[in-house]
Structure 1
Amino acid sequence: MWHIMNKLPTKVGPALASDKKFIQKLKSAVYSDHLTQTEFVERWNDVIVEYKLESNPWLTEMFNKRNEWIPAYFSDIEMAGLLRTTSRSESSNSFFQHFHEGGHTLVEFYSSFESAMDKQRLKNAQDDKRSDQIPFTDTSMSIEVDAFKLYTLELYYLVREEIKAACYHTSMPDITRDNEHRYFKVKDDLLHDKIFEVSVRLSDNYVQCNCKFFFQRGYLCKHAFAALHQCGVKKIPREFVKPRWTKNALKRHSFLGSSQVDALFEKRDKKKLKRTRAWFEFHNCMNHAEEDEEKLDSFIRGLQTIASSITKDSDNNMDQGNAERVDKFIGPIPDTEISVQIPHVSRNKGSGSRIKSSREIAIEAGKRRTCSRCKLAAGHNARSCPLNKECT
Structure 2
Amino acid sequence: MRKLPEKLGSHAAFNVGLKTAIQNALYDSQTCGEFEEKWRQFIKKYDLGENAWLQGLYNERSFWVPVYLKEVFWAGMSTTQRSESMNAFFDGFVHSGTTLKEFVDQFDNALQKKVELETTADFNSSNQTIPCSSAFRIEKQFQAVYTNAKFKEVQREVWGMILCNCILISKEGCISTYDVLDEITTDDDHVKSIKYTVYFNNEEVDVKCTCALFEMRGIVYRHALNVCQMNKIHALPEKYVLDRWRNDLKRRYTMVKSSYDDLRQNVDSGRYELVVKRCSKLATRVSSSDAHVTAFMLHLDEFENKFKGLTQESGSTKVAETVQTDKGKKILSPHVVRGKGRPPTKRKVPPVEKAVTRRKNKQIRRKIFDDTSEQCEVSEAP
> Which TM-score band (shorter chain)?
0.5 to 0.7
Q: Which residue of 2 aligns with 1:208?
A: 208
Counterpart among 29, 32, 35 of residue 37 in structure 1: 32
Counterpart among 8, 12, 24 of residue 28 in structure 1: 24
Q: Which moved more, 1:69-78 or 1:186-195?
A: 186-195
Q: Which residue of 2 aligns with 1:112?
A: 106
Q: Provide the secondary structure at the position in 1 that maps to 2:92.
A: coil
Counterpart among 65, 70, 82 of residue 75 in structure 1: 70
| Distance (Å, rounded) in 2 between the aligned partners of 1:193 and 1:107 | 56
Q: Which residue of 1 aligns with 2:276?
A: 272
Q: Provide the secondary structure at the position in 2 that maps to 1:220.
A: coil
Deviations 1:218-270 (A, max 9, x none): 21221211222233322232212332222134x154886xxxxxxxxxx9966
What amino acid does structure 1 have at the position aligned with 2:158?
A: I
What amino acid does structure 1 have at the position aligned with 2:114?
A: Q
Q: Taking structure 1 as reference, are residues 105 and 65 closer, same or farther at Cα in structure 2, changes over 3 Å only?
A: closer
Q: Taking structure 1 as reference, are residues 325 and 62 closer, same or farther at Cα in structure 2, changes over 3 Å only?
A: closer
Higher Cα Rg: structure 1 or 2?
1
Q: Taking structure 1 as reference, are residues 99 and 49 closer, same or farther at Cα in structure 2, changes over 3 Å only?
A: same
| Distance (Å, rounded) in 1 between the aligned partners of 2:163 and 2:65 | 31
| Distance (Å, rounded) in 2 between the aligned partners of 1:268 and 1:112 | 25
* Per-residue deviation, 1:183: 0.8
| Distance (Å, rounded) in 2 between the aligned partners of 1:138 and 1:273 | 43
Q: Where do 5+ consecutive residues of structure 1 fail to align?
A: 257-266, 278-304, 330-392
* Per-residue deviation, 1:161: 1.9
| Distance (Å, rounded) in 1 between the aligned partners of 2:60 and 2:83 | 28
Q: Taking structure 1 as reference, are residues 21 and 307 closer, same or farther at Cα in structure 2, changes over 3 Å only?
A: same
Q: Provide the secondary structure at the position in 1 that maps to 2:183.
A: helix
Contact 1:139–1:167 (8 Å) recurs in 2: no
Contact 2:213–2:219 (8 Å) recurs in 1: yes
| Distance (Å, rounded) in 2 between the aligned partners of 1:109 and 1:55 | 50
Return the TM-score normalized by structure 1. 0.58
Match runs of 1:156-235 below 5 Å: 156-167=151-162, 169-174=164-169, 176-178=171-173, 181-190=174-183, 194-235=194-235
Contact 2:161–2:222 (8 Å) recurs in 1: yes
Contact 2:164–2:226 (8 Å) recurs in 1: no
Q: Taking structure 1 as reference, are residues 62 and 96 closer, same or farther at Cα in structure 2, changes over 3 Å only?
A: closer
Counterpart among 106, 116, 121 of residue 115 in structure 2: 121
When the two structures are aligned, how many residues end up with a matched partner? Answer: 276
Q: Provide the secondary structure at the position in 1 that maps to 2:133.
A: coil
Q: Provide the secondary structure at the position in 2 that maps to 1:19.
A: helix
Counterpart among 4, 9, 15 of residue 6 in structure 2: 9
Contact 2:130–2:148 (8 Å) recurs in 1: no
Deviations 1:173-197 (A, max 9, x none): 335251xx33131322415554433
Contact 2:170–2:177 (8 Å) recurs in 1: yes
Q: Taking structure 1 as reference, are residues 215 and 54 closer, same or farther at Cα in structure 2, changes over 3 Å only?
A: same
Identity %: 24
Q: Provide the secondary structure at the position in 2 that maps to 1:24.
A: helix
Deviations 1:293-315 (A, max 9, x none): xxxxxxxxxxxx99774246x69
1:94 and 2:69 are equivalent in the alignment = no
* Greater RCO structure (CA 8 Å; 6+ sep): 2
| Distance (Å, rounded) in 2 between the aligned partners of 1:67 and 1:307 | 57
Deviations 1:333-391 (A, max 9, x none): xxxxxxxxxxxxxxxxxxxxxxxxxxxxxxxxxxxxxxxxxxxxxxxxxxxxxxxxxxx
What amino acid does structure 2 have at the position aligned with 1:124?
A: E
What amino acid does structure 2 have at the position aligned with 1:238?
A: E
What amino acid does structure 1 have at the position aligned with 2:216?
A: Q
Q: Provide the secondary structure at the position in 2 that maps to 1:190.
A: strand
* Per-residue deviation, 1:145: 0.8
Match runs of 1:329-344 below 5 Å: none
CA-atom RMSD, angstroms? 3.8
* Per-residue deviation, 1:200: 3.0
